[in-house]
Chain A
């Protein structure tokens, strides 16, 4: 029974791998590695037990040699970040959609950007980027991802230093990975005909990656298994567990505002004041 999917892990020589955690019938925790990076057609699997000691994982593996002829045992000590050796999130970007998207009840982009800025005043790692909203046309999500990825590349220092002792390529490069963060409802929309281009979906999950937060009434694992592309790159789709179910939607907020009801504690106070000062989301506004 899989317990968790798609944890990233970096191993010497193999580079980036995916880890699947599962529980055996006797209740023991086991891990399965997807060796190699996405895009490779051959995956080697190795089942092994992990021993934990603070932030170091000892990996005892039965076979880590691709196409191995004989069973070998390898011991690795890998230093991992707290949370089982995965990614370290270094930033968050909120990219409000362009007005030309044409969604019902969409307030002007300058307002939505301003409100997001106010909401993020107290955050030290998430920021708003108005680039998408400032373009002349609506643009596909994959293009926004490409833009921000090239921005990240462009902002790196020119000289590349050694990679923390892990010299063999494909080692972790200095460029942070850019992943699309979305709710499970967006994952579901991949199924909607003509809403997404297939090539774009592939590029998103193959080249970038998806972090999907659960939402009531949605079964993200079901959406993944129901789509060949998503299944193929499921190691690059990270399902974030939401321990607290929180169904607050912008739709509900707009509805409450239209009826003169309080939305305090659902939105930051600064955003509520902005909405009031600019007369947004009143019943006559749409």
Chain B
């Protein structure tokens, strides 16, 4: 029998080097446009938390929504401050999910791996004595060399049995993000390796078999499959931001697709029209531009 939260025997067994009684604290980080945030985004957090807690090995302590900066240049992307406010309204009633504006405030678009690193460092800084070696500080704009990143991994100290090294940030996403790893120039291969190798992925999907197949067909994903947690979503919940924007353009109701406060905010500010959908039309997406250009940013 399946179901969210049940320990699935077809998952690869994790061999724990540390004491089993100590659980790893997890922070789920979701990056995305949130244009607008929908009930589906919020459901991802709930499903992921139930799943990770249900394994008995993790304890989800926080959820972070990190809306992308305007510099992402995605078509139809409205101003970041609106998207941030809507996310804050949406999480008002949540006891554990919050919104972080760091990424949205950056002048340049920031790779997801960097956002993960930022939040991991922030957690470790506020964690006091449970720190690992702080990672090498980098000059802004400089892409970290692969050798330096490898050094970080080998420098990790083995900590005592009771502590699991403080909370670990994991990237929360849907299957679409997982499969976007295959889009040419969208992701740097070293970033993918870092995301699944160092941090970990919690991927909520309806089509579990497709996701597993995708993992199987990728060497780097297959290598780190223990760090990719697939969460099954048994009911179809197709509320995509694209469809919400479409409904709004057509004057149709989006009640119960987005939280009430978000729907009221959208209505009050007249967000999402045919005009707003044309923003960034014809503009190349920031990661595609950056990765196609190659070299350091």
Binding site for B on A (CB under 8 A): 82, 122-123, 216, 243-249, 252, 255-256, 259-266, 269
Contacts and interface: CB of A to CB of B under 8 A. Distances in A.
11 contacts: A82-B251, A243-B252, A244-B239, A244-B243, A247-B235, A247-B237, A248-B235, A259-B4, A262-B49, A265-B39, A269-B93
B257 interface: yes
B49 to A, nearest CB: 7
Contacts of B121: none
- Majority DSSP secondary structure for residues of A touching B: loop
B50 interface: yes
Given A259-B3, A261-B4, A246 B46 contact: no
Contacts of A243: 243, 246-247, 252
B35 to A, nearest CB: 16
Given A259-B5, A261-B4, A248 B42 contact: no
Interface of B: 3-5, 39, 42-43, 46-47, 49-50, 93-94, 234-240, 243-244, 246-247, 251-252, 255, 257, 259-260
Contact of A264 (B42, B234, B260): B42
A246 B237 contact: yes
Nearest to B264: A122
Contact of B5 (A216, A248, A252, A261): A261
Contacts of B239: 244, 246
Contacts of A245: 236, 238
Given A244-B239, A262-B50, 15 more contacts: A243-B246, A244-B244, A245-B238, A246-B257, A247-B236, A247-B237, A248-B237, A259-B5, A261-B4, A262-B47, A262-B49, A263-B46, A265-B39, A265-B259, A266-B39
A243 B42 CA distance: 20
A265 B234 contact: no
A266 B43 contact: yes
A265 B43 contact: yes
Nearest to A266: B43
A247 B236 CA distance: 5
B172 to A, nearest CB: 14
Contacts of B47: 262
Nearest to B259: A265
B247 A252 contact: no
Given A244-B257, A265-B43, A249 B247 contact: no
Nearest to A217: B236
B240 to A, nearest CB: 8
B204 to A, nearest CB: 13
